[in-house]
């Protein structure tokens, strides 16, 4: 039996918006999203999500849940072993759940919305992201401004590297060693030049 209910129609909008924002940019017309999702009503996005911010929040919430579950499991595994995660471990917790998503445009979508989407608008009550960033901040020896600069730079590089990986994956050009290389590059960036 085909899935054709209202939830299906909303998922089609989310899929189309993620893809179009990833490939055409943050300002893609919402009417184009509705058309790409196969909706006859050009105002379908406004009907279901009110506005662009509501649509973006719905895309983030849909993808964030499964990734945050994976991050929580990874952090719990360290705690169960009585292990204090290293910088590399923490970078893996941030990076690997995104790299494991297949057939999406989510990393490219994040890259496109990041300049327009304030971090505080992403709900953090159920996310491991702030906990990991806090641990990263505490794991390097530098003054607070330097730590903030490092974490911000690593986040910017992370989004770009993962988006490039996603592009290559779509073209079948990714390498099996690439996830470890991305983690290594970001870990080195986080700790380079620090005593």
Name all domains of the chain by residue range, CATH numbers in brackets.
6-191 (1.10.357.10)
8 Å CB contact between 86 and 80:
no
pLDDT of residue 109: 95
DSSP type of residue 121: G
Count of C-beta atoms within a 10 Å radius of residue 168? 13
pLDDT band (50, 70, 90) for residue 86: very high
Average pLDDT of the chain to the nearest whole number: 89
pLDDT digits (tens, 9 = 90+) for 115-145: 887 654 455 556 788 889 888 888 888 888 9
Counted residue by residue, the chain has a size of: 195
Q: Which of 11, 33, 6, 9 is nearest to 22 (CA)?
A: 33
């Amino acid at each position: 039996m085909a899935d054709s209910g209202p939830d299906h129609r909303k998922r089609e909008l989310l899929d189309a918006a993620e893809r179009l924002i990833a490939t055409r940019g943050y300002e893609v017309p919402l009417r184009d999203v509705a058309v790409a999702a196969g909706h006859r009503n050009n105002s379908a996005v406004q009907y279901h999500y009110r506005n662009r911010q509501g649509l973006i929040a719905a895309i983030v919430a849909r993808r964030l849940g499964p990734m945050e579950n994976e991050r929580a499991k990874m952090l719990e595994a360290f705690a169960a072993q009585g292990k204090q995660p290293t910088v590399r471990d923490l970078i893996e917790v941030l990076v690997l759940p995104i790299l494991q998503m297949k057939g999406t445009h989510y990393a490219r979508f994040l890259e496109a919305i990041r300049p327009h989407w304030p971090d505080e608008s992403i709900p953090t009550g159920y996310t491991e992201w702030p906990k990991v960033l806090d641990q990263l901040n505490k794991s390097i020896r530098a003054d607070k401004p330097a730590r903030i600069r490092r974490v911000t730079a690593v986040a910017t590089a992370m989004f770009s590297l993962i988006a490039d990986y996603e592009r290559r994956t779509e073209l079948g050009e990714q390498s099996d060693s690439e996830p470890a290389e991305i983690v290594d590059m970001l870990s080195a960036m986080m700790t380079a030049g620090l005593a």
